[in-house]
Chains A and B, each alone.
Chain A
Amino acid sequence: MSVAGQASAPAGPVLQVEGLSVRFGGHLAVGDVSLSVHPGRISGLIGPNGAGKTTTFNAICGVTPPTAGRVLLDGEDVSRLGTHQRARRGIGRTFQRLEVFSSLSVADNVRVGLEIRASWSRRRRPAPQYLAAAAGLDPERIDSDAEVALIIERLGLARVADVPVGSLPTGQARKVELGRALAARPRVLLLDEPASGLDDLETHEFGGMLGDLASAGLGILLVEHDVALVMRVCADLSVLNFGQLIASGTPEEVQSNRAVLDAYRGGGDDVAAAAAATAAGVHLDPGQPGVGS
């Protein structure tokens, strides 16, 4: 089901996670997880609630210190760097629990992303191809109103550009987070449930936009509960359960993976297991319709 049309993957992965573990006291939130994200490709990270997806994100971008493991960006070990230093090397992200600048307007949220980048980026990174170079963006100009306007327009936020983000509904606020992250021109983008709060039509459009971003060379790691979206856009999937990586491969492989099926069947709570299985794109019971598909 995965979509062709994403650029053929260049040589190496942009982001590699090797043997990552995060322990909170006695609780192993993430155990020995390895995965990689390639430029021009969307990788999915799925699993039931509490499986450790957001913790993995936090460890990758340096918000939560990992207990063990390495994070490599373009082959460089960034595990010892702070959050802002990793961001400067090109890791961008959005948040499951919204982290918008709620007292600033939509345009200013994106502009802050741009301005923060301008404050540290002395040497300019290659221009962002992912937002349509055809729109006439000058890659050499770091701080430009045009870029803000373009990002807002591409995300369909032009109508609310001057509205404080605090008064927007969740779906739009998530788009603002995405726009802000894009303004910092990341090389790899971690998206934490970006489509929750969007309706079916918006989700469809959103999937198309993610495809566009990827085909322009951005590497994307996507955490998402919307199965249809994940199956449509992701080139490969990793499945987490109780902090362990239980499967990875193409969506088709994962869908028919015994380990995934067993893991979800093993859950004591039928409803939760069904929901989780649905999230992973697994149909336990022919009578159980998949959500969002």
Chain B
Amino acid sequence: MDKFLTFTIAGLSSAAIYAIAASGLVVTYTTSGIFNFAHGAFGMMAAFTYWQVNVAWGVPTIPAVILVVFIIAPLFGAVVERVIMRGIEGASDVVKIVVTVSLMVALLGLAQVIWPQNESRPVPAFFEGRFVEVLGVRVSWSRLLALVVAGLVAGGLRLLFTRTRLGISMRAVVDDRRLLQLNGGRPGRTAMLSWGLGAGLAAVSGVLYATEQTLSAVTLTLLVVNTYAVAVVGRLRSLPGAFLGAVILGLAQSYVTGYINPDLTVGPIALGNLAAALPAIMLFTVLLLQPEARLRSHSVGRPRAPVVVPSQTTAVLGGVALVLALAGIGALLAPADLILVTKGAGFALVTLSLVPLTGYAGQISLAQMSFVGIGAVAMATWGANGSPVAVAASVAVCAVIGAVVALPALRLSGIYLALATAAFALFCTAMFFNQQEIIPSGSVQVPPLSLGPFTADTDYRQLVLLAVLFALIGNLLVWLRRSAWGRRLTAMKDSPVACATLGLNLTSTKVGVFALSAAIAGAGGALAGRTFTADSFSLPASLPVTMLAVVGGIGSIAGAFIGGLLLGAIPIASTVFAANAIGVFRFVAIPVRDILSFTPGLMGISLGREPDGAAPQIAVGYRAVGRSVPALVVSVAGAVALWLAARTGVVTKWGFAAALLVFVVAAVPLLPLVLSPARPEDTAEPPRRLACGLWLALATLVAVAIPWADRIASNGLRVVLMVVAAALSARVGIGVLGVTPEQLRRPVPLSPDLVGVDRPMLRADAVEATRRMGLSEDDFEAEVAALASSTNGAPVGPVTVPR
């Protein structure tokens, strides 16, 4: 009985912490429409800040708590809303999810830089050493404190939302931001306040958790999974539901810890980690119990850039070029570099798996590395001799598991798939990858593929195999995208409700796409031919895959490859620059490796500034390269030549880096224009191709020749100067050419219906309207002149259209 009571009280105390965290999550989600995956990371940052203030700087407990919970955390939340989240309002679910996930990864990286993991940081419990007796069980005051705080939070929020003007306007902001504004509310301020409140609640839960359990950056950050498993009970919107969920999860975890013998096994699975898998189990159970989501007609969103689908010929040529390029580069590489490039090619296959799911269907998965892991383990188990049959079986297993995982979530709206996959990743780590029976001593060796006389038993052969695989699957995806199925996916992304009213079963279509995606990721694992540690299948390993795939431009095969390269480049860069540090003004030296640890996060957050995708913006400049064969040849040849020069010692390491940067940023996007025989139709004079080409070559050579290492002492300054040089070269290049790359200049055409709604009607719009209506522009000029004389030149519009 005492044992039961002890575990009940412990369970209720963690339930209180979950409830506080979940109420913060629900508050930000309901008031901003953005599901904050970084909620746990907010709490983590607050807990570490509390440690810094209270333990390291010796500030007494009460002022420290006030400073962290009531000042720093709310301010931080408000700043995040203002700087990052406001930009993604109205963006797609994918962008919203990737931005908050990126914030989470960036904060985790930042925390590990500021507070390195090699030091233990105990946080003293509140009221240390004070206990009360409850029915004969000793209960610490701090446990009771958690319960009291949870009660206060529940009461306070109830008052806020029902009794105060602020609370009511918080509820209004999510319903219709513009309407609130028209009625005199201030949606911007309200959203900032709600993020501040959410961050404050995250801070309370983070500090309580740190004092009760441990102060660990990863644990606290991933607490978000427990938190949303709890919040899903209330459909992410109801606070009482979230509190109920918290009690269920808190008690369940506590009883499992107390009553289930960790040595107990079910088949090969030891139950020692069951408590860690409980949030995922609970999440899936709740999802299954939810009724199917109502279809909602979407509001007028931002118009997306039209999708450019490459022709099958382009895709085949691209695939051949990729295989040849990687085979060529691979032959020149030193063994250590070859391993890294091969790894990068493996990652590219994993980012490719997101192309159908995220790029075509607009769904998101945060568990791609789990599928890689399942594929890898299946191959290691069944295919010791590298048989292709085992590969097929592994891939099929991944497809089936993918379908099963996605089914409950896909009946609901987009956000639930992200939640479910993240929970699935944690579940796999606890119940599968961290099991001694399944992955002994924490690493798994995937046998190389053996196909007739070909065995991928060297790194070089493995690289070629991966390149061929990428090219084949890429071509398959292009073919699918151009088929009726691909059109249907695009249609489903544009308007799910219209598809349903045409007779499309949305759930089974999405499940099919998810299974395909899981199968490709599984192939990436089964054919990796290398050793994985169990860590590389974890949720923190999966997140950068999804983020960088989206940053790379997930709508296209080339984008997936760029994403894979980014992903592969980070470990490469952190090896190359292992000993280097970027000095800022010579007194702060941050190791490059640390900066790289949160670079993926920062890249993802950059989507917040450009919700249509920072990468597509960049990719626009490069897309033309893919269409122009001479430009492609010169780009590849230039890069290879530079690399050969570096390899043979003709140019220095820094000279190579600078020249490559200038070449890629300035020269490559301009190449199609420089090399194209056609003259752009809307320019006054022909572009100065030769001069521009010479300038670009010169700029690249100068970048090589500058003695970066000798003249400039600070690494940071060198990097800054290189970036400046690249930007300048690009700017001058465009100036010399006399033509801006046409895609960089032309905005996405807006629907004419929105004119006057999203911005004032301009003369250009009126001219365009007359042109479309088939009136001659001369008639219109006369009208405008008459109008201008009568209105003293005021702008035309807004025009009301009679029904």
Contacts and interface: CB of A to CB of B under 8 A. Distances in A.
Interface of A: 61-65, 82-84, 87-88, 91-93, 95, 97, 99-104, 108-109, 111-113, 115-121, 164, 166-170, 177, 180-181, 184, 196, 225-226, 291-292
A115 B502 CA distance: 10
Contacts of A109: 491
Contacts of A291: 802-803
Interface of B: 292, 294-295, 297-300, 303-304, 306-307, 484, 487-488, 490-491, 493-495, 497-506, 749-753, 772, 802-803
B803 A87 contact: no
B502 A113 contact: yes
Contacts, number: 127
A256 to B, nearest CB: 24
Given A104-B490, A112-B487, A196-B803, A167 B749 contact: yes
Closest A-B pairs by Cβ, 9 of them: A87-B503, A83-B500, A99-B498, A101-B494, A115-B484, A99-B495, A101-B491, A88-B503, A116-B502
Q: Is the interface of A mostly helix, strand, loop or mixed?
A: mixed
Contacts of B298: 99
Contacts of A101: 490-491, 494-495, 498
Contacts of A115: 484, 487-488
Contacts of B487: 104, 108, 111-112, 115
A117 B504 CA distance: 8
Contacts of B495: 99-101
Contacts of B294: 63-65
B503 A102 contact: no
A200 to B, nearest CB: 10
B534 to A, nearest CB: 41
B503 A169 contact: no
A97 B494 CA distance: 13
A201 to B, nearest CB: 13
A62 B295 CA distance: 9
A129 B576 CA distance: 70
B297 A95 contact: yes
A75 B125 CA distance: 69
Interface centre among B299, B491, B497 (most CB of A within 10 A): B491
B502 A87 contact: yes
Contacts of B802: 291
Given A83-B295, A115-B487, A116-B503, A104 B494 contact: yes
Given A83-B295, A101-B495, A169 B752 contact: yes
Given A65-B294, A83-B501, 6 more contacts: A87-B500, A99-B495, A99-B498, A103-B494, A112-B502, A168-B751
A192 to B, nearest CB: 11
Contacts of A180: 498, 502
Contacts of A164: 306
Contact of A166 (B303, B488, B503): B303
A61 B501 contact: yes
Contact of A184 (B297, B502, B752, B753): B502
Contacts of A169: 751-753, 772
27 contacts: A61-B501, A62-B500, A63-B294, A64-B294, A84-B500, A87-B501, A87-B504, A95-B297, A95-B497, A97-B297, A101-B490, A101-B495, A103-B306, A103-B490, A112-B484, A112-B502, A115-B488, A116-B503, A119-B488, A119-B504, A120-B503, A166-B303, A166-B306, A181-B501, A184-B503, A225-B803, A292-B803
Nearest to B483: A115
B292 A82 contact: yes
B506 A99 contact: no
Contacts of A84: 499-506
